[in-house]
Homo-oligomer: A and B are copies of this chain.
Amino acid sequence: MARTGRPPGGTSNREAIRASAAHHFSEYGYDRTSMRSVAAEAGVDQALIAHYFGSKHELFIAAVEFPFDPAKILPEVLDGDRSSIGERLARAQLALLDDPDARRRLTSLVRAASSEPDAARMLREFLMREVIGPLAEALGSDEPELRVSFVGSQIIGLMMARYIVEVEPLASLPAERVVEMIGPTLQRYLMHPLPHKH
């Protein structure tokens, strides 16, 4: 893969950045990857990353083919009555997984995370920084990170049980029934009084 420095070759610069970012994220995780070192390995100016990809968040989504952009989905989930936030979150999740391509990419990330510690760290750091953190901050409940981490456990378990291990009847249940079952669980984790505090 030729690394010419600057134009011509917008595509090859873009690809060099993407490849460098994929390598950095999987090797060093999300938090410790800097735009500067991604640019250095790709042999480009750091400004070019912003030009092609935008933020580190967006670079990650492109580099690891993350199947959705939390920055686009979270506002929809947060917008509206807190008494139905669990249902909106469940519905957004199922809508996402109804798309075969997004489902394929998400299950492949979960597979990698379950077998490779580096992939697990990368996913954990991204989820905590870009999904759990912002959702917790906007939530307005007590112990928001705790709440959101339980939401994460139910969502990741739904993916495993429905799409990977394929436990029946969950695997062939219509999405709307899954939303009805999962929604109240997410609602409780996010908004109900916690059973016990330290």
By a beta-carbon cutoff of 8 Å, the part of chain A in contact with chain B is 110-111, 113-115, 120, 123-124, 127-128, 132, 145-146, 149-150, 152-158, 160-162, 164-170, 173, 176-177, 180-182, 184-185, 188-189, 194-196
- Indicate which residue in B123, B146, B170, B196 contacts A153 across the interface (CB closer than 8 Å): B170
- The A contact surface, by secondary structure, is helix
Determine the residue in chain B with the shortest Cβ distance to A107. Answer: B114
A132 to chain B, nearest CB (A): 7
CB neighbours (8 Å) of A157 from chain B are: 152-158, 160-161
Quick one: which of B128, B177, B185 contacts A154, CB cutoff 8 A? B185
**Across-interface contacts of A114 in B (CB, < 8 A):** 110-111, 114-115, 160, 164-165
Point out the residue from B124, B162, B165, B168 that lies within 8 Å of A167, measured CB to CB. B124
The answer to whether residues A170 and B154 also contact, given A123-B165, A164-B114 and a CB cut-off of 8 A, is no
* Contact A169-B149, Cβ < 8 Å, known A164-B120, A184-B188: yes
Q: Contact at B113–A165, with CB atoms within 8 Å?
A: yes
- Whether B160 lies near A153 (C-beta < 8 A) is yes
Give the nearest-CB partner of A113 in chain B. Answer: B165
Asked whether B185 lies within 8 Å of A188 as measured between CB atoms, the reply is yes
10 A-B Cβ contacts within 8 A?
Answer: A110-B160, A113-B165, A120-B165, A128-B167, A132-B167, A146-B170, A153-B160, A181-B189, A181-B194, A184-B188
